[in-house]
A and B are shown apart, each in its own frame.
Chain A
């Protein structure tokens, strides 16, 4: 196991960063012929066989986990797809497959280049809307979260890998780096694709019906947060916002795991979207890249 290595944005002394280099046991499950999902207990991703070698999606969330991912695949990796720019998704290609081709949406590639994080290697091939890649088709459905976040469809296995979109529960925390203006339309665009199974970026594998339910849940939180703000619930008072959205949503959505713990901060975050107007040119109806 490494005791030092790439550290992303962390500035703590090396002796405090041992957690970055732990290599946990990973759970690997076959989703269909030539397609697997891999799970480290926190994050989930997929890898697939192609005519040119293994294609790995993302890197898992730390250098150590990326190395464990590489070991679990047990074969050379020819291509790594970055689903989005976040370091906990695609930050450690230096440990996973430093010589592989790296494919990402052009907005993701731009942020990765600008960031220059030590383990997140620059993208070598970009696309803008849709791109075939071996057994998969990469889709940019519009803005969801992060920069250039894509979903990947595996038509033969009828599987959609869609990290940082819908979860099989309500554990969204503060919806970090979400683009509230477009998320509903973007997620509904994904529902136009032909799939039965969804691999989210975290937690368990979902059915198509669970994905659709998750979209409806997020839309319901959005509406409840707007109503709270519209009805003069003080958007900066957490307890008041939490009480309002809980009351509005518990009957229909209270069965979702994590609802009680997360619904307050979700509503609070979305209310601030309507308070401030959305963040940057990305989170507008025009959905333009940031200057």
Chain B
């Protein structure tokens, strides 16, 4: 916690916690809200932790802990750290790996482990440095390209950046010995994501499916619960269906500026095959609206227009 409120408006009173990028004056109560964490062992020395919505992993090393991400608020970060300290008492979090740049996953290292070594993809780092968000610490080490083996404190894993999916530099962590893949804000059970914020849809499906070249049978997503290769395939089918239906909606003259109309169309066209998916009723319309804009606009920005790489993912030999 800190008294630093330098990023807030001049009129803002001293803030009792890190503020992220809020520009409104005054205290941000949601940043101070306690989050109860649940945690469980996964495989080997990997644990998974969640407050019911976001999910991450941490790993016991020989001398300390390698943690991924920070959760999405100062109190979330503190609760995460508290959970690790309870599971692995006396072991410091010496390494923090950022999966991508978004504050709801990596925004609060200053509250979680301010002295840790922080590892991120250079595309993630570019955004973090430019953003200057209060509480989000820049990485101390960056990597580039598609893959990087990490051997840290007796723990071995491969960081994989398969191409643009969501956010910037969003990478997966593959633990080959445990056949476990962790990746945030991509594959998820059901229709778990709202309007697909900061998704790069043109290359999304081919980029993601490159991960199928790796040997794994447990997929740990950044939200909700664990899934597997069947769950991965089901989620990809959903995106393919939404992409097709978005084009149909435009061709059928649906008022694509109306969330209500697009939602009605989504339910009419997609419920039969996909209506049982988790949160279909909540987010099918928003998912479809986002895909409609993809076709109307042609993709957003450089990331949204970068051609997908279809080449098989090459796994370098570990040292």
Contacts and interface: CB of A to CB of B under 8 A. Distances in A.
Max count, chain A CB within 10 A of own CB: residue among B133, B294, B298: B298
A144 to B, nearest CB: 13
Contacts of A238: 194, 282, 286
Max count, chain B CB within 10 A of own CB: residue among A8, A9, A87: A9
A230 interface: yes
Given A230-B22, A286-B130, A277 B253 contact: no
Interface in B271-319: 282, 286, 289-290, 293-303, 305-306
Given A9-B294, A115-B305, A226 B102 contact: no
Contact of B247 (A10, A264, A268): A10
B194 A268 contact: yes
B295 A10 contact: yes
Contacts of A70: none
B297 A274 contact: no
Given A277-B20, A277-B131, A147 B297 contact: no
Given A87-B297, A261-B260, A276-B102, A284 B305 contact: no
B130 A284 contact: yes
A275 B298 CA distance: 25
Max count, chain B CB within 10 A of own CB: residue among A87, A277, A281: A277
B259 interface: yes
B168 interface: yes
A206 interface: no
Contacts of A110: 302
Contact of B259 (A85, A230, A265, A285): A265
Interface string A41-61: 000000000000000000001
B77 to A, nearest CB: 14
Nearest to B131: A284
A181 B127 CA distance: 13
- Chain A interface category by residue count: 35 or more
Max count, chain A CB within 10 A of own CB: residue among B136, B244, B258, B306: B258
Contacts of A17: 251
Contacts of A146: 297, 300
Max count, chain B CB within 10 A of own CB: residue among A16, A238, A281: A281
Interface string B52-65: 01000000000000
B21 interface: yes
A120 interface: yes
Contacts of B258: 173, 261
A8 B102 contact: no
Given A276-B198, A277-B103, A291-B123, A114 B306 contact: yes
Given A272-B194, A284-B130, A291-B302, 12 more contacts: A114-B302, A173-B258, A174-B195, A174-B290, A226-B23, A232-B29, A272-B195, A277-B101, A278-B131, A280-B168, A284-B131, A289-B302
9 contacts: A10-B295, A88-B296, A147-B302, A173-B289, A174-B286, A174-B289, A275-B72, A289-B302, A290-B302
Q: Which 4 A-B pairs have the closest CB atoms?
A: A277-B103, A286-B130, A87-B298, A290-B302
